[in-house]
């Protein structure tokens, strides 16, 4: 079997570029997050809300990965971010090379927070580190409570979990205890932000966490 070493080499090349991205972001004191989710979980709504709130105090840039169209980047720009679209041309995830290219097009000396919106997909984005400081999974109530059991890889690898659309809990069969148990098996004590981008419930802890991390990433004066 020759395929396995080939894949390992691709992944380790990706990891090296991810490290270079991280160093570049650190040099400029930029705090960066990578948002991953299935399509329709509300990544772009989360981006819009986060940009609108954080742009009051910080300079925010958004890199939007999509298979086609610039709809999401347009929404991020309208919310007040410097926004850049990456069309992956059919690829179902972003990788570190794409971020290398995108970072060259942004003036990082004028950015405090970089939000990367990955392509909607719960499988391969988990395998490609980008070099961002925090990898974040956006789950949502209508997707169902079995997702940690079905997509363990992505739940295992993330630094924080957003559980969006909690306003829909009364209307869909979602067992929070079952969901939470699945998450805890894979990623004990995972930082979790239950919220609704629609009603704004639960968003303050999320904003505060981002603010705190931006401050920590800034070079000491
Ligand atoms: Mg989107
Ligand atoms: Zn993919």
Exposed e or buried b per residue across 49-85, where buried means at least 16 C-beta atoms within 10 angstroms of its C-beta: bbbebbbeebbbbbbbbbeeebebbebbbebbbbbbb
Q: What pLDDT is recorded for position 214?
A: 98
Higher model confidence: residue 220 or residue 30? 30
Question: By three-state DSSP, how is residue 32 classified?
Answer: strand
- The Å distance, Cα 72 to ligand 1 centre, comes to 5
- Rounded Cα distance between 134 and 87, Å, is 22
What percentage of residues in the chain have a pLDDT greater than 90? Answer: 87
The 3-state DSSP class for residue 153 equals: helix
Question: What mean pLDDT do residues 154-168 have?
Answer: 97
User: What's the 149 CA to ligand 1 centre distance in angstroms?
Assistant: 24
What are the residue ranges spanned by the domains of the chain?
6-217
Q: What are phi and psi of 74, to 5 degrees?
A: -60, -40
| Gap from CA of 92 to ligand 2 centroid (Å) | 4
Read off the DSSP letter of residue 171.
Answer: T
Give the pLDDT score at 51: 97
Q: Tens of pLDDT along 44-84? A: 999 999 999 999 999 999 999 988 888 889 999 999 999 99
Question: pLDDT tens digits for 76-124?
Answer: 999 999 999 998 888 899 999 999 999 999 999 999 999 999 999 999 9
Helical residues (DSSP H) of the chain, grouped into ranges:
3-27, 43-54, 71-78, 96-104, 147-150, 152-157, 176-186, 203-217
Residue 221 confidence class, pLDDT cut points 50, 70, 90: low
With contact defined as beta carbons under 8 Å apart, do 111 and 90 qualify?
Answer: no
Predicted local confidence at residue 79, as pLDDT: 93
Model pTM greater than 0.85? Answer: yes
Confidence at residue 215, expressed as pLDDT on a 0 to 100 scale: 96
| Structure confidence at residue 1 (pLDDT) | 52
CATH architecture of 6-217: 3-Layer(aba) Sandwich (3.40)
Return all residues near 211 (Cβ < 8 A) that are at least 6 apart: 54, 57, 58
Q: Could you tell me the strand order of the sheet in which 134-140 lies?
A: 82-87, 60-66, 113-117, 31-37, 134-140, 160-164, 191-194
- In the reported structure, the alpha carbon of residue 77 is separated from the centroid of ligand 1 by a whole-number distance in angstroms of 13
Neighbours of ion ligand 2 (CB under 5 A): 92-93, 124
């Amino acid at each position: 079997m020759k395929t396995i070493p080939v894949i390992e080499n691709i992944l380790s090349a990706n990891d090296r570029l991810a490290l270079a991205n991280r160093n570049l972001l650190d040099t400029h004191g930029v705090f960066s997050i990578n948002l991953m989710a299935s399509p329709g979980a509300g990544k772009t709504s989360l981006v819009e809300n986060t940009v609108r709130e954080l742009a009051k105090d910080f300079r925010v840039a958004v890199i939007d990965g999509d298979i086609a169209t610039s709809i999401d980047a347009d929404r991020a720009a309208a919310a007040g971010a410097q926004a850049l679209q990456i069309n992956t041309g059919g690829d179902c995830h972003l990788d570190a090379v794409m971020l290398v290219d995108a970072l060259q097009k942004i003036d990082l000396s004028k950015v405090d927070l970089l939000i990367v919106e990955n392509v909607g997909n719960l499988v391969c984005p988990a395998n490609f580190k980008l070099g961002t400081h925090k990898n974040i999974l956006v789950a949502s109530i209508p997707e169902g409570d079995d997702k940690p059991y079905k997509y363990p890889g992505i739940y295992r690898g993330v630094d924080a979990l957003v559980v969006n659309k909690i306003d829909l809990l009364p209307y869909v069969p979602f067992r929070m205890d079952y969901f939470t148990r699945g998450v805890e098996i894979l990623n004990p004590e995972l930082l979790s932000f239950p919220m609704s981008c629609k009603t704004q419930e639960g968003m303050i802890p999320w904003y505060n966490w981002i603010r705190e991390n931006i401050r920590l990433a800034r070079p000491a004066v």
